[in-house]
Chain A
Amino acid sequence: MDDPERQAPGGAETSDASRAAAVLARYPRREPGELVNILHDLQAELRYLPESVLQEAAAHLGLSPSQVYGVVTFYHGFHTEPRGAHTCTVCMGTACHVHGAHRLLEQVERDVGLKAGETTADLVLTVEEVGCVGACALGPLVILDGEYHGHMTGDRLSRLVKRMTAAEGEE
């Protein structure tokens, strides 16, 4: 009959599954209200949220996978695709905008050939924008691999991104 197919567990999936299980074990009360926190923890562990892991989370909390996936896609903090080894986040807050943040975003989009939210095909770099990170006095601000860089210019950003991703290429 039309039983929902379950994918046969492969090597990568098993390791994902066991890491996910370890995270879910930290939420023994299985409260649906914990879903967003759980998604954060799963993503911190696996760097993105593959389908198999979301199915596990749904089962753990007694929610339908549709519901869980709807929550995942609602919030911009969650990613269902693998992300780049490096991240370039351009702050698009009002103060940063007034200092020309959109030009920075355009610069890096041009340099790398991506639109904000996308990752290079070789999974080296993800470019994204964010609403505001609270460093408003330093606009325009860019976060490169977790490091905050204030008063950024297009030129400097090009160089820094190139340097950040070149390191990966050399490995």
Chain B
Amino acid sequence: MTEGRLSDAAALARRREALVAARDPERTVIAVCAGTGCRAQGALQVVEALRAELGAQGAAGRVEVRATGCLGFCQAGPLLCLQPGGTVLRSVAVDDVPKVVASTLAGEVAVHLLYTDAESGEICRTAADIPFYRAQQRLLLGASALLDPTSLDDYLALGGYAALVRAFELGPEAVLEEVGRSGLRGRGGAGFPTGRKWEAVRRAQGELKYVVCNADEGDPGAFMDDALLEGNPHSVLEGMLIGAYAMGAREGHVYVRQEYPVAVARITLAIRQAREAGLLGADILGSGFAFELRVSRGGGAFVCGEASAMMASLEGRRGVPRRRLIHLSERGLWGRPTDLNNVETWANVPQIVLRGADWYRAIGTAGSTGTKIFSLVGKVTNTGLVEVPMGTTLREIVFGAGGGVPGGKRFKAVQTGGPSGGCLPAAKLDLPVDFDTLVAEGSMMGSGGMIVMDEDTCMVDVAAYFLRFLAAESCGTCTSCREGLDVLHGLLTDITEARGTRETLALIEQLADTVAATSLCALGTSGVNPVLSTLRHFKDEYLAHVDEKRCPAGVCKALIAFSILEGRCTGCRACALSCPADAISGERRAVHAIDPGLCIKCGNCRDVCRFDAVLVS
């Protein structure tokens, strides 16, 4: 265990050497993904069971069980990664533990738990064999498998805080230059050049400056920042230290949304560990640089992901954004120069400083350097976190790493950029994903949420969903956003409930124009993107709803009817028992029928029917 303060770079190097020397590279480690997704699938129970079984086998000293952060392959969780060798075992349950332990101790592989590639049928042993991982370049997420996120020692042993030492050697101006030259742009969605922002804060007037880590990650469907904070919190901390040093900031805040309790705990622990080791506080590593960091929790408001709203929240006020005629880099938190960067942006910094801007520029595209983590979810086979170089196409992500759309369904759209983004159809799949290309098509890359939709997704319903979300999350200050988004939601609901007309569509466009042009902040101005992008790329679907009162995807309740197919129904009564409206009648073993007058279209019958006998038309 790391004990005591590290007084300078030499002490850090010695500590690192000692840690590395004390670790046997050949020692068997079973890394168990304990990210939020795998925990929800019982990963912690698997960890406990592994430790108990190893203990029972008298092997607790020989094999380490390491609960890690998110390893990204949520579809295959609970996921195990065995070192050395890198064998990956998927969907491991507590019942599988005795076999896993037995095979590991015998130096063998539990073959039945290896991942099989659905397309080729090939059995994959390591991550390099698995298409989901093969398609990625995991500069940021890769370290998660190799360390215990609650251990500073692990981070040090892997080379942690060497970038900070390098930064001290370079001096603040050189660090600024390196980060600027790397082309790093904000990963929270806006894509502002990080170096330029840091430069502005450094040049700003004022003795006291702040750095803030935006870990609010409010885009529904996005969990990249959660994975980084849960899996490698020190990498974010180190990035903030380097940035604060370069900018001359003495204090920092990590603002984590309250819906991420594990992330809050991990970064809080990391800060405490860093403080004990002298990596936070006064005279860090003898450099003369002093920096303190605090964790603040969000209160539950998407708008607080907006920089000025976040600062209002940090000041103990309602999370109301303000217009920025004066940049936050000059007057931000408490009216002082403030740099705010996203978690993923901070996580990129140590590698840039250590490996250099030229190395970083070689990855990605000229305008968008480096990698980007995407949260690939929805109607896609391999759901999880995908880290790829900027410029990778949508097709490569969805059909390459993602393995395409499951269940034999047809791809319909991919939604990126969260509530500020848009939906793109199949025709746009060959677009490279970066900061600038998707914008021309009415969408944006955003923070990395990428939701795949298939033929069973109604795009009008998707637009209505986003507007409902945004109307509830609006801070409520400006008329255009507060009223406009609510009215837009109402108009879209009209369409999904068979009351829409061509006039409704015209009014939507007119109103969206004003909301986009006159709202106070991006929640309003980009909040119209989901509806405008779906109108642009899926006009036919809107027209079916308003002209024919038909929902092609079979989603909008007012426009569909549930019925039972005579040819398939076996009279098993499952549907009748599951119906909350008592709308299904029929004798045992006889074909059942749904009374359309009583049916509330909840879909329970379709869920429980094992014979695919429920038709939605």
Contacts and interface: CB of A to CB of B under 8 A. Distances in A.
A86 interface: no
A164 interface: no
A39 to B, nearest CB: 7
The interface centre, meaning the residue of B217, B302, B318, B453 with most chain A CB atoms within 10 A of its CB, is: B318
Q: How many B residues are at the interface, by size bracket?
A: 35 or more
A95 B451 contact: yes
Contacts of A67: 317
Interface string B15-54: 0000000000000000000001101110000000000000
6 A-B pairs with the lowest CB-CB distances in the bound complex, closest first: A75-B299, A77-B300, A137-B74, A148-B40, A35-B316, A93-B220
Interface of B: 36-37, 39-41, 74-75, 77, 217-223, 226-227, 258-260, 296-302, 313-319, 334, 375, 377-379, 383-384, 415, 418, 449, 451, 453, 457, 462, 465-466, 469, 473, 475, 578, 580, 602-604, 607-608
B319 A33 contact: no
Contacts of B465: 94, 97, 102
B383 A137 contact: yes
A136 to B, nearest CB: 4
Given A76-B301, A132-B223, A141 B453 contact: no
Given A106-B602, A110-B580, A98 B300 contact: no
14 contacts: A74-B475, A77-B299, A92-B469, A94-B220, A94-B221, A99-B378, A131-B218, A131-B473, A134-B226, A135-B223, A150-B40, A150-B41, A154-B602, A155-B607
Q: Among the interface residues A33, A70, A78, which one has the most CB atoms of the partner chain B within 10 A?
A: A33
Contacts of A71: 299, 316-318
A23 interface: no
A139 B377 contact: yes
A132 B222 contact: yes
A109 B223 CA distance: 27
A135 B302 contact: no
A37 interface: yes
A62 to B, nearest CB: 11
A100 B299 contact: no
A140 B36 CA distance: 14
Nearest to A70: B318
Nearest to B218: A131
A107 interface: yes
Interface string A96-114: 1111101100110011000
Interface in A48-102: 61, 63, 67, 70-71, 74-78, 92-100, 102
Given A36-B316, A137-B384, A154-B578, 16 more contacts: A33-B334, A36-B296, A71-B299, A74-B299, A95-B220, A95-B221, A98-B378, A98-B379, A100-B603, A132-B220, A134-B37, A134-B227, A137-B74, A148-B40, A150-B37, A150-B40
